[in-house]
Amino acid sequence: MKLLVFGKTGQVATELQRLVPDARFLGREEADLSDPESCAAAIAAADCDAVINAAAWTAVDAAEDQEAEATVVNGAAPAAMARAAAARGLPLVHISTDYVFDGAGTDGFVPDHPVGPLGAYGRSKLVGEQGVRAAGGAHAILRTSWVVSAHGKNFIKTMLRLARQHEKLTIVADQVGGPTCAADIAAACVTIAQQLREDPSKSGTYHFSGAPDVSWADFAREIFIQSGLSSTHVVDIPSSDFPTPAARPANSRMDNTMTEQVFGVTRPDWRIGLTKILTELGETGT
């Protein structure tokens, strides 16, 4: 299967390059998501069997002041991709986020749960979802959460850096979700793209996040245990003690049942993925 992937340097795109190096990867110089029609043109001209969109505006706080720009990248561009893919009969796998929900409750969100984003980033991603569905082609919208890897900026790398600077860290404990390793997302995207190509009736919205669900504070504790930095003391704090420009969902739990039933893609254990990430970073220890 010939894959066309939007994204080159992001966490998931980097893992896709490792997994499917023969795929064609489009960076900003070839397909700028701030120019949606360039994305559509790339699909129209590509020799491919399926498309994966692993590119996005991910600066959650910056989106609060630049919502129009974020909505072009996260909303208009995926919609243009979906229309171009549908015109050619190509399946599209589009990565979305738990931020389309309001974060209420303690149950895992199912794919058809009513949406209600708390901020600009979530609203921009919701526009993208709506555009992908409206295009009418074979598609899978894959919502994920708390993405981590050995690449780019993410919670694991931030915690390792801070642990070497401070003996005690205050970490938010009232936000709970499933950390998801970018390598697992990449593998899920490829599997789903293959199955969509064979059976477009599997089109729809799905969830994919790591297990078990955990708070940011407890996630940090596991990072420190596995990295040999367990002497770092984690103090639980409420979100109100760590204000950010964009509100974060208190509940980022997502129900992955449909993804497993339809595609056979099981929910990965993020603790295993964390071990692999720390090994790659050379951060395992005793």
Label residue 113 exposed, middle or buried (CB < 10 Å: 0-12, 13-18, 19+). Answer: middle
Residues 6+ apart with CB under 8 A from 153: none
Contact call for residues 200 and 91 (beta carbons, < 8 A): yes
Active site residues: 121
Q: CA-to-CA distance for 223 and 243, rounded, in angstroms?
A: 23
Helices then strands, each counted (H, E), the chain: 11, 13
CA dihedral 9, 221, 256, 110 (to 10 degrees): -100
